[in-house]
Structure 1
């Protein structure tokens, strides 16, 4: 009955290799985000100067004659699918194997990316970009819990940091990849190349023996026959049903849908009642509000304040280097401190507070060299939060809520953080300061924006004093009737050698 759950893990499939596979997938996700924003893929409309000399239209914008608004929609269209599908995949993980769900999501991603390369107008590519977000949603929600399950206890945040380090690294590679392939060949080939690179991973997700997340019942354990005086009894999703009730219930799809909705509502209520989780996400929203506006307005502010001719390159370079180094450093430091929720809040609050000070002073400097040095230190500290903030989201909830925890965190930081921040900063820039004082108003806008980091630091500081319990080993109530070996991670072994 439990033989499939007790099968030995494939000898080649070690935790380090799992981490490596997830890092490659995460990098490809962000290569795509960087590529669509690159000049080689995104392109521009035909531009003619006063003398009548015209520059040919290039890329997506040139081929489809997109307005700047339509072009901007394409860069963020994936978020529609991501925000809708993330909670759905997280909820489905309770009734379907999470590893298979990642395979499904990556399949959608691969076909959607290939569709982007084959698109013929604005709406066709916009729909494909939304489906890219749907495909990414399963991976975003479920990859981190898999890593958390299988990382060595003393290196959990370092492994998470390695995973999240792929975000700035992938974005940077995407700019280069999109520029080279789109510029030398065609923007369509850039998308098709991404699809080919990703194709082995959804295949792996289906042909591999499925891996099981801690806290989630294996599919073969969803239906467990037992016996009593009245005959055969079945355990389905934690409920004991006699005789053929299980099969009758299984045939009623409205009942199944209602059960899914009820379970999702119950899980959401449990998350919202968790003070540690709410405080962590509120701080993350404030943090992401600033980061989102930095990424959009940073180059323009730098150009206006310091007259940078290469503001895109400078801000991009600082963000990439500090993003990679800061993310790794944050994970390593928390492991050295001993990974606890309280220590994570201390690191989150302290790093954000110090980073905010350096960034504020940087924007007050008149010299470009002084700005670069101080802003780099500030961003290094700011990015040290990536591993700790996700560690808290994973460990302040029961194992069976981790996927939903990650999904709701992702949805929240986008809906309330980086999505509204860019237009709000634009409104502040236009309405609050006189147009003729262009240099000073961008400086003041940057200072106002950066000060929100202090709000994030204060919120996370409150988290230090909350009663926090690491629930990583907390059993799920619905699994009390299932043998322990049936719900252990398949990668739970003593060897971490690649």
Structure 2
């Protein structure tokens, strides 16, 4: 089956739209877990001896986990994700990327079940680390597949559909965790166990079905596909019988017509396979460092990641502190912290869905080019900065809500275009590594350090006294400036790349 005149896939189940639906389902389940872990019913609270303290509940109550230790559970997941992403992208050069996604999600499935059966904090910490490792394969390899098989003129829209699953999955996780984690006969362990069970059929399908080729990578442990460069053709074929061989390999195997080619071909293939799979860890490390260094020679990619880091730093602050900030500033309007969670969650879902879709459609309408995608990112980032600064300066809750919704929508417009630039600004074979190194950069330099920095800023503004609403406003306005920094970097990069 051909897709867009470039890739031919010999898998009975395959169509480009089915592949997109499969990846969207995977993404929803993955981000459902992130929302589940953060939901109040699953995380719970450690309780306390102070008068008026709520009774212990959730995993914090069962294991006696402090808020500090709970923060380390979130860090454990991120450690696994950041360590696993480069590993899976490097393995994509030697094994079928579709199979690697299956391996990663299999790890994720086992790890989430381990979360459900953890007897103590240490085992839960280890399980959350491997949840991150398993997710890393998907983060590194899914987007290049979508870029390969999306129809011409709709690539950004397809990427938008894929990235739309992030806010939807997290929001569903909040609700799912609240329902299952808060159910009298279930609880937080069931929340993890059921999501693990939901992913298992997806993993089994990926393992049992014919693998899908990826443009630009040329290795597979089963020789089930080869790249178009190796084949000397404009297609790649999945499946043993339909595999293409390069002209050079055919000449070598046949032996220049000496009559012994058919006998030598299996031996040559066997030697090539052993060379691919028998590579030493030291050599693999050298190759990874060389490939990572090669990415830095693509200035558009480097500048885009820099802008993405600044953008993610702001989004990370909103994700961690948003509901707390809204309740601190507008407590009389929101009444309870739970209502603040609900209101801000709904706003984020609407903004995430609308903004992500707008970004993808806008790039497709303007034309699928790096310059157009960066221009959309720059304009939306600047608009988001203005609207969000206005929201935090508003003293009326309805005005705050309206400007915050518009500002978040504008900010989320960036999601699909900026990830498209990551894919389009490097050679096809470098896309898995580009995606994984982008993941490492935006988390390690973006949304991991900024939430604690925001907390330290609040304490400094309070000066040892009680926090007041104006302290929250000043801190939010200061950190939102990261969107303006991101917009400036991406605008300059867009001018360098050129429009259209």
Equivalent-residue separation in structure 2 for 1:329 and 1:170 (angstroms): 19
- Quote the offset at 1:189 in angstroms: 1.1
Structure 1 residue 382, shift from structure 2 partner: 0.3
1:226 corresponding residue in structure 2? 253
State the 1:250 CA deviation. Answer: 3.7
Measured against aligned partners, the alpha-carbon deviations of 1:302-333 in whole angstroms (never above 9, x if no partner) come to 22222233322222111111011111111011
Partner of 1:113: 112
- Counterparts in 2 of 1:291 and 1:258: CA distance versus 1, 3 Å: same
Match of 1:269 in 2: 293
For the structure 1 residues 302 and 207, does the alpha-carbon distance in structure 2 shift closer, same or farther, using more than 3 Å as the test? same
Q: 1:458 to 1:63 in 2, by over 3 A?
A: same
Distance 1:134 1:254 in 2: 23
Q: How far 1:12 sits from its partner (Å)?
A: 3.5
> Which residue does 1:32 correspond to in 2?
33
Listed as ranges, the matches of 1:360-371 within 5 Å are 360-371=389-400
- d(CA) in 1 for partners of 2:17, 2:62: 43
- The answer for the alignment partner of 1:206 in structure 2 is 207
**Helix, strand or coil for the counterpart of 1:273?**
coil
Cα deviation for residue 192 of structure 1 reads 0.9
Match of 1:315 in 2: 344
Contact 1:249–1:255 (8 Å) recurs in 2: no
Q: TM-score, structure 1 length as denominator?
A: 0.86
Q: What are structure 1's unaligned runs of at least 5 residues?
A: 1-5, 235-242, 471-498
Task: Output aligned runs, 1:18-417, within 5 Å.
Answer: 18-47=19-48, 50=51, 55-184=54-183, 185-219=186-220, 220=223, 221=226, 224=249, 225-226=252-253, 247=271, 250=274, 255-307=279-331, 308-309=334-335, 310-417=339-446
Q: CA deviation at 1:57?
A: 2.3
How big is the shift at 1:153? Answer: 0.9
Post-superposition CA distance 1:208-253 (Å, at most 9, x none): 111000111253259945355799999xxxxxxxx98984994798
C-alpha separation in 1, matches of 2:103 and 2:310:
32
Alpha carbons 1:276, 1:468 under 8 Å: kept: no
TM-score, L = length of structure 2: 0.86
Q: Retained in 1: the 8 A contact 2:9–2:213?
A: no
Q: 1:339 to 1:67 in 2, by over 3 A?
A: same
**Which range moves more in the overlay, 255-264 or 158-167?**
255-264
Deviation of residue 461 (structure 1)?
Answer: 0.6
Distance 1:461 1:293 in 2: 23
CA change 1:353–1:56 in 2 (3 A) is same
Distance 1:79 1:151 in 2: 30
Aligned residues: 457
Shift in alpha-carbon separation, 1:249–1:38, aligned structure 2, 3 A: closer
Q: CA RMSD of the aligned region, Å?
A: 2.7
